Amino acid sequence: MTCPPAPLAFDGRGFEGLPDRLLALDELKSVLLSRGLSRQEQDVVWRELVERARRDGPAWVIACVGVAMPGLRRAARRLAADWMSPTVDLHAEVLEGFLIHLRKVDLSDDRIVGKLVDAGKRRARKARDADADASAIHVNRPWSRAPLSPWDHPDWILTRAVAAGVIDVDEHALIAKTRLEGCTLATVAAELGISASLAGDWRRKAQLRLADAIRAGELDHVRLDAYLVRHRRRLRAVLGVVPVAA
């Protein structure tokens, strides 16, 4: 699509920041990657690319993938460390998420290409989490285990952390639902009304605070009876359930 005699071209005339002529796709990609265009100018170009993909068929769909390829590759590299299946499956999931969102991304919004790449990352993370769950060994008989620490179940660690002010109730829900209940980060982020990338950063920071508090012994003997009574309604609204104090 970028080679003679008839490369696919984007007409830069009328677009702020683009050369006033026809641009081959590889040249368009280079211009968009340069620091010469503002975010608003990039969004204007991407609105046109997405509209052409929806209106003019497969060639422009592939054009969108090609122009977004640096971001897609960067997303795949960041996910590769935790990916257990063949790398080609990771690439396929990222690409599939991008293409699905290409059909429905809101063109009145900003950061259009970022949202398309984010959709690819979310799909890959969902596939990774599903694969990890399928690989887990499930048993239907009791285990013997080591004696429990004073806080007992992981849910109680999180509840004590909220009571101690180490994390808040939303961070409790984010950690519990993604780490203990098998929900995807994107699902819980949507429930909390935030983006998946923000949820990931939020969870990471909360987990670091939680780990520091556990190591320092700050959660060993936090009393919960009065806290659960005082905040029962708030806990139920966010978590869907209120732990019963022992």
Query: HEC states along 173-222?
Result: HHHHHHHHCCCCHHHHHHHHCCCHHHHHHHHHHHHHHHHHHHHCCCCCCC
> Strands 9-11, 22-24: parallel, antiparallel or unpaired by DSSP?
antiparallel
Residue 242 has pLDDT above 50, yes or no: no
The larger pLDDT score, comparing residue 27 to residue 5, is at 27
Is the torsion defined by CA of 221, 152, 162, 226 positive or negative? negative
Instruction: Give the separation between CA 174 and CA 78, rounded to whole angstroms.
Output: 21
CB 190: neighbour CB atoms within 10 A?
13
Domains and CATH numbers, the chain: 9-134 (no CATH), 154-239 (1.10.10)
DSSP 236: H
| Average pLDDT over the chain, rounded to an integer | 80
Structure confidence at residue 148 (pLDDT): 43
Q: pLDDT (tens digit, 9 = 90+) per residue, 7-66?
A: 788 999 989 889 999 998 999 999 998 878 888 999 999 999 999 999 998 999 999 999
Span 222-236, average pLDDT: 56
The larger pLDDT score, comparing residue 120 to residue 133, is at 120
The verdict on pTM exceeding 0.85 is no
Residue 137 has pLDDT above 70, yes or no: no
The larger pLDDT score, comparing residue 94 to residue 127, is at 94
Residue 223 has pLDDT above 80, yes or no: no
Structure confidence at residue 147 (pLDDT): 41
H helix runs in 57-111, sequence order: 58-80, 87-102
Q: Is the peptide bond before 243 cis (omega within 30 degrees of 0)?
A: no
Instruction: Give the separation between CA 8 and CA 83, rounded to whole angstroms.
Output: 35
Structure confidence at residue 149 (pLDDT): 45
Structure confidence at residue 214 (pLDDT): 84
User: Do 15 and 45 touch, CB atoms closer than 8 A?
Assistant: yes
Span 236-246, average pLDDT: 49
User: Do 98 and 120 touch, CB atoms closer than 8 A?
Assistant: yes
Structure confidence at residue 146 (pLDDT): 44
Residue 211 has pLDDT above 70, yes or no: yes
Structure confidence at residue 65 (pLDDT): 95
Structure confidence at residue 161 (pLDDT): 82
User: Do 146 and 121 touch, CB atoms closer than 8 A?
Assistant: no
The larger pLDDT score, comparing residue 137 to residue 167, is at 167
Span 144-156, average pLDDT: 53
Instruction: Give the separation between CA 89 and CA 131, rounded to whole angstroms.
Output: 11
Q: How far is CA 11 from CA 1, 37, 41, 52, 62, in A?
A: 15, 16, 15, 12, 17
Instruction: Give the separation between CA 64 and CA 112, rounded to whole angstroms.
Output: 12
Tokens 């909220």 -> residue: 162
% residues pLDDT > 90 (the chain): 31
pLDDT category at 232 given cuts 50, 70, 90 is low
